[in-house]
Amino acid sequence: MFHPAKLAELRAAQERWEADTLRRTLARLPERQADFITTSSEPVRRLYTPLDVAGLDYARDLGFPGEYPYTRGVHASGHRGRLWTMRLFAGFGSAEETNARFKYLLEQGGGGLSIAFDLATLMGYDTDAPEALGEFGKCGVAISSLKDMEVLLAGIPLDRVSTSMTINSPAAVIWAMYLAVAEQQGVRLDQLRGTTQNDILKEYIAQKEYIFPPEPSMRLVVDTFEFGAQHVPQWNPISVSGYHIREAGSTAAQELAFTLADGLEYVRWGVARGLNVDEFAPRISFFFNAHNDFFEEIAKYRAARRIWARELRETFGARDPRTWLMRFHTQTAGVSLTAQQPENNIVRVALQALAAVLGGTQSLHTNSMDEALALPSEAAVTIALRTQQIIAHESGAANTVDPLGGAYFVEALTDQIEAQARAYFQRIADLGGVIPAIQRGFFQQEIADAAYRYQREIDAGVRTIVGVNDYVDDKPIAIPILAMDPQGYTRQAGRLQALRQTRDSGRVGQALDRLRIACQGTQNTMPLILDAVRAYATLGEIMGVMKEVFGVYVEPVMV
């Protein structure tokens, strides 16, 4: 803390500096006020000093890395002790094609798997379902049964890799398939490391890949919490995702607030189930976006850790320090990639990735330069991985812990974004909580308004998007685009048809009947889902049973 007399001296000096600077600036040329805003349209001051850091209570708000409230990071050694996991998101076409891409990335130095699933899988349909027509493999890999998962993971030792799976409504089923393959490999469940996204609340808010109504969906999520704590203790059964909220058009503060509100709601449901917060909450992880505004993103990550630590300790009474730790994965902003001058995306991704590293991420995915045009080519995904490796080994960014900690601008932004998030918490509480706010369209409207404002700023020239609304050229795009195997669908559908003909149909029917009874009652569904998967029931069949019991959610029409 500064002495009052010292504060007065600093304030007077800052006022003199601002007055002198303003006179000199105006004497030269008009200040471009429109340029001095963050990506979230927040104004940026000319200078930040200790006076802008709320309270100047460094012991409370900053402290040291690895110490509560973890503003400066959850590990005392930061990336000096261990680099972040370089986890390239991959998945396209058939299980065979994606398996080959996984092995390539691991050979190139990738640290873990990150599985993208196609839209049919995300929505719980089998590849050959009429509803899935035309969607095979276009935004990820198609997985319809344990047989597909066996092909996807063939030759990959699951006890030696960490795997992330971006799957939500059918998360319990896809996770069960992964666990069943591990069993086939002779790997104990307590050896498995990884994450299932499994964040259904953000589906209602932003991505819209929901299937069941909120309440049964939340039940399934808590079932994975309970099963994971008992049987798969190194697995994160949920990754609460702000990424898709930001991709839908939110501001940084909205991404932070809505993501943490969702995370706290999951904790409430777990506690209501009777689970000990210190037994399940340490395995809750998070997934954030890294957008274009370098310092705003760093401040967002720092505020996120601080808020989560305080809420878990002070609101939920968690006593285990592991429960206070926010661990998160980051992905660079897909929405920031441009189809125009796609090579520019390499620079955007590098800056976004550096912000994530300086913000203390535990794992990172860097987007490929061609993703605004198609699924990433092998050459493009290699550049994306090399970007992380250059940051890790050449930039010096990992050589010290929280190098921007204490910077007046960063600390002021951290305080500001935390205050904005807490204001949103109050608005959500006033609406009755997260699910009532979803049903009233609160989150959806806030994001839509922010996205509209951002696009208006681009259209008006307030924001410069290089190669789009300034520095434009008409040169044709000359980068290779990924071509998928044209026989992939035929092979995948044929495998599914053969499976239905050769499996034990009686065993499948019995497993599905037991699952139906479990869904109608209150017992944990995960053991029954595992039994159905082991019997080679398909994804569509398992999700069909759940639809019979839980129903299908239809979003209310907002006027």
Domain coordinates in residue numbering, the chain = 59-75+86-459
pLDDT of residue 88: 82
d(CA 209, CA 120): 10
400-446: per-residue pLDDT in tens? 999 999 899 999 999 999 999 999 999 999 999 999 999 999 999 99
Sign of the CA dihedral with 403 first, then 261, 556, and 456 last? negative
DSSP one-letter code for 203: I
Q: How confident is the model at residue 23 (pLDDT cuts 50, 70, 90)?
A: low
Answer yes or no: is pLDDT of 11 > 90.
no
User: What is the predicted pLDDT for the residue at 475?
Assistant: 85
130-139, 441-450, 467-476, 484-493: which has the minimum mean pLDDT? 484-493
Q: For the chain, what is the mean pLDDT?
A: 91
CATH class given for the domain over 59-75+86-459: alpha beta
pLDDT at 487: 83
- pLDDT surpassing 80 at residue 34: no
Query: For residues 56 and 218, which has the higher predicted lDDT (pLDDT)?
Result: 218
* Band (33; pLDDT cuts 50, 70, 90): very low
- List strand residue ranges (DSSP E) for 190-342, in order: 193-196, 235-236, 238-241, 284-290, 328-332
Query: Residue 87: its pLDDT value, please?
Result: 87
> Three-state SS across 475-529?
CCCCCCCCCCCCCHHHHHHHHHHHHHHHCCHHHHHHHHHHHHHHHHCCCCCHHHH
Helical pair 214-231 and 526-534, crossing angle rounded to 10 deg: 80
Lowest mean pLDDT among 7-21, 118-132, 175-189, 215-229: 7-21
Order of strands across the sheet that contains 162-166 = 235-236, 193-196, 162-166, 112-116, 85-90, 363-365, 328-332, 284-290, 238-241
* Predicted local distance difference test score (pLDDT) of residue 54: 57
pTM over 0.85: yes
Note the maximum CA span of the chain. 86
pLDDT, tens digit (0-9, with 9 covering 90-100), for 315-369: 999 999 999 999 999 999 999 999 999 999 999 999 999 999 999 999 999 999 9
Residues 13 and 50 sit within 8 Å (Cβ to Cβ): no
Q: Which two tokens stand for residue 470?
A: 């300034």
